[in-house]
Chains A and B, each alone.
Chain A
């Protein structure tokens, strides 16, 4: 059973300048306990995808269409907002990018975690005491437990802290504690460490990875940082201009990238013991989401682009073992590289 199954997700934003097709029919499957990374440049539709899965996009303005949206085998496609409130936080949780803005500045962080337990009625006292006071006490006890779990020392003291009184790494840990609070099946982490120093990043990722393993939680990791992906993910989806251009296991993608865009992304990260080669840049930048190029969206930036790439969008070709690639010339490129 998959923790998440998305089929043909489309998100459109009608704007005054024109229609923005943020996500153009993507499929995602995440097995229980696995971590899938969605990788791509800023503006390629990663975050919109995650919000669409949580059903957190405000409609209007957004228009969301999806053929199948299942969470742990349960269909959530047709749920109303009220029904989704019972699912959010409990079955699927989210970790946001910037913990300073993602936490309410005028509320103690402990209280912000309490809210999840209280909202999902998980804080009923052990011996059947369900009064308001008891529920609050129990929520607090669970919150402090959750804070300790993500490695926050003096959890009782930090419970009373306001977000601005904590360090960046500490705040991100609070968000992680919040996401794991109700032990959800799936956690969506949207650039969870982008706002942190590299050293703190490693600590926070360790905490995340550790908890994910222990709890057998599935993780949908949204990032543009391939070095994080290498350590965290089991499977990678490479996204470009709202479409999946390549999918494969982490090992496959890093060892043997098929799509020129993936190659470009990999060319732009540093690897130890790889001193002789220079960083390879992908030329130019992401096209405007309103006026996407004809044919393959990547062709204006692709050094292998041929005539066909300029007129026809290649299909997402399925290879053996779940591997997929969206490119007309991937075989030629591969042979050319080897030969």
Chain B
């Protein structure tokens, strides 16, 4: 990996990031002639049109929606460079960064536990299925993968919430709203979070586990047939050395790619699940912002999501080149 290549990749990532911000700024404004209109008070009797126009202008200034769209864009970008994401239109005018800081950890609770559980259990099951190739364990995985591919996570979530939540009342079907407000790192609070997160995480990991297991299984089987595995055996290596030193090392390469892609979806990947379980995360925040035309908040969330995805992709590429010496990033042979 050359330093010049790394710098080039980072600069390109920043450029893509700026393009994303620009698109995120203009697209929601398409077709909306005056986004501030919903905040105007009604024109009372006896108020002249001039006075009313003045009031409207004041409101536009208050929300930062005065001037042309392009002028707003320049202002927004200028603020962004000073680290200011603006103020939300929500009542109480909270800073966007505070809204995100409040919701982001709760989304990460769901998505990170989903990712880690899927990865670890998926790899274990996949390796076992490859080991028991063609037997019932393997066939079970194949059928499970057909089913979970056909069943989206939100459907599984609905079924789980109906049976485990409403019918049998084992886990909460709706998140306890006091959970976030009163969180204080006590064991009590942590166990409440785990109890409430059980169903949404469960709904997400089913698909995740099967997907990782399936790709691990295929990858392990493909590598097991490679010639260098035979070489390793012909050298007299023990089975463990062959499996851990040669098979898994090579079989994990595609899994790293899959993992990197899933990391980039950590923030935006659980919007629907959050809605179903009324989980106060980024997804809920984003949908509220959307229905309120809350531009600064929408922008802030999208900037976070895209920055996260871009950095995750960048890191995956770099990590991959460290794991596989054949990937020579940007080097000419």
Task: Among B227, B232, B245, point to the contact of A98 (Cβ < 8 A).
Answer: B227
A119-B228 CB under 8 A given contacts A54-B234, A93-B234, A104-B250:
no
A85-B236 CB under 8 A given contacts A106-B325, A119-B241, A164-B326:
yes
Q: Is B332 an interface residue (CB 8 A)?
A: no
> Is A115 in contact with B230, judged by CB distance below 8 angstroms?
no
Which residues 219-268 in B have Cβ within 8 Å of A in the complex?
226-228, 230-239, 241, 245-246, 249-250, 253
Q: Compute how far the CA of A87 lies from the CA of B241 in the bound complex, rounded to whole angstroms.
A: 16
A88-B323 CB under 8 A given contacts A102-B227, A102-B228, A106-B250:
no
> Is B236 in contact with A119, judged by CB distance below 8 angstroms?
yes
Q: Mark B208-220 against chain A: 1 for CB-CB distance below 8 A, else 0.
A: 0000000000000
Please give, as numbers and ranges, the residues of chain B lying within 8 Å of A105 by CB-CB distance.
228, 250, 324-326
Q: Compute how far the CA of A90 lies from the CA of B227 in the bound complex, rounded to whole angstroms.
A: 20
A116-B231 CB under 8 A given contacts A105-B250, A164-B326:
no
How many chain A residues touch B (CB < 8 A): the figure is 31
Please give, as numbers and ranges, the residues of chain B lying within 8 Å of A81 by CB-CB distance.
239
A85-B231 CB under 8 A given contacts A162-B326, A164-B325:
no
Q: Compute how far the CA of A104 lies from the CA of B241 in the bound complex, rounded to whole angstroms.
A: 13
Task: Among B228, B238, B253, B323, point to the contact of A104 (Cβ < 8 A).
Answer: B228
> Is B241 in contact with A115, judged by CB distance below 8 angstroms?
yes
Please give, as numbers and ranges, the residues of chain B lying within 8 Å of A93 by CB-CB distance.
234-235
> Is A96 in contact with B236, judged by CB distance below 8 angstroms?
no
> Is B234 in contact with A89, judged by CB distance below 8 angstroms?
yes
The interface size bin for chain B is 20 to 34
Q: Mark A178-194 against chain B: 1 for CB-CB distance below 8 A, else 0.
A: 10000000000000000
Q: Compute how far the CA of A283 lies from the CA of B250 in the bound complex, rounded to whole angstroms.
A: 44
Q: Mark A70-85 against chain B: 1 for CB-CB distance below 8 A, else 0.
A: 0000000000010011
Please give, as numbers and ranges, the residues of chain A lying within 8 Å of B325 by CB-CB distance.
105-106, 162, 164-165
> Is B234 in contact with A85, judged by CB distance below 8 angstroms?
no
> Is A94 in contact with B234, judged by CB distance below 8 angstroms?
yes
Most buried by A among B231, B241, B245, B323: B231
Q: Compute how far the CA of A178 lies from the CA of B233 in the bound complex, rounded to whole angstroms.
A: 13
Q: Compute how far the CA of A102 lies from the CA of B249 in the bound complex, rounded to whole angstroms.
A: 15
Please give, as numbers and ranges, the residues of chain A lying within 8 Å of B231 by CB-CB distance.
94, 96, 102-104, 112, 175, 178
Q: Smallest Cβ distance from B138 to chain A, in angstroms?
A: 15
- Closest B residue to A111 by beta carbon equals B245
Please give, as numbers and ranges, the residues of chain B lying within 8 Å of A107 by CB-CB distance.
245-246, 249
Please give, as numbers and ranges, the residues of chain B lying within 8 Å of A90 by CB-CB distance.
236
Please give, as numbers and ranges, the residues of chain B lying within 8 Å of A56 by CB-CB distance.
230, 233-234
> Is A101 in contact with B233, judged by CB distance below 8 angstroms?
no
Please give, as numbers and ranges, the residues of chain A lying within 8 Å of B232 by CB-CB distance.
104, 115
> Is B235 in contact with A115, judged by CB distance below 8 angstroms?
yes
Measured CB to CB, the residues of A under 8 A from B are: 54, 56, 81, 84-90, 93-94, 96, 98, 101-107, 112, 115-116, 119-120, 162, 164-165, 175, 178
Measured CB to CB, the residues of B under 8 A from A are: 226-228, 230-239, 241, 245-246, 249-250, 253, 323-326
19 example contacts (A-B, Cβ-Cβ < 8 A) are as follows A85-B237, A86-B236, A89-B235, A89-B237, A93-B235, A96-B230, A101-B226, A101-B228, A102-B228, A102-B231, A104-B231, A104-B246, A104-B250, A106-B325, A106-B326, A115-B235, A119-B235, A162-B325, A165-B325
Contacts A56-B233, A104-B231, A162-B325 known; 8 new A-B pairs at CB < 8 A: A81-B239, A85-B237, A86-B236, A90-B236, A94-B231, A96-B227, A98-B227, A105-B250
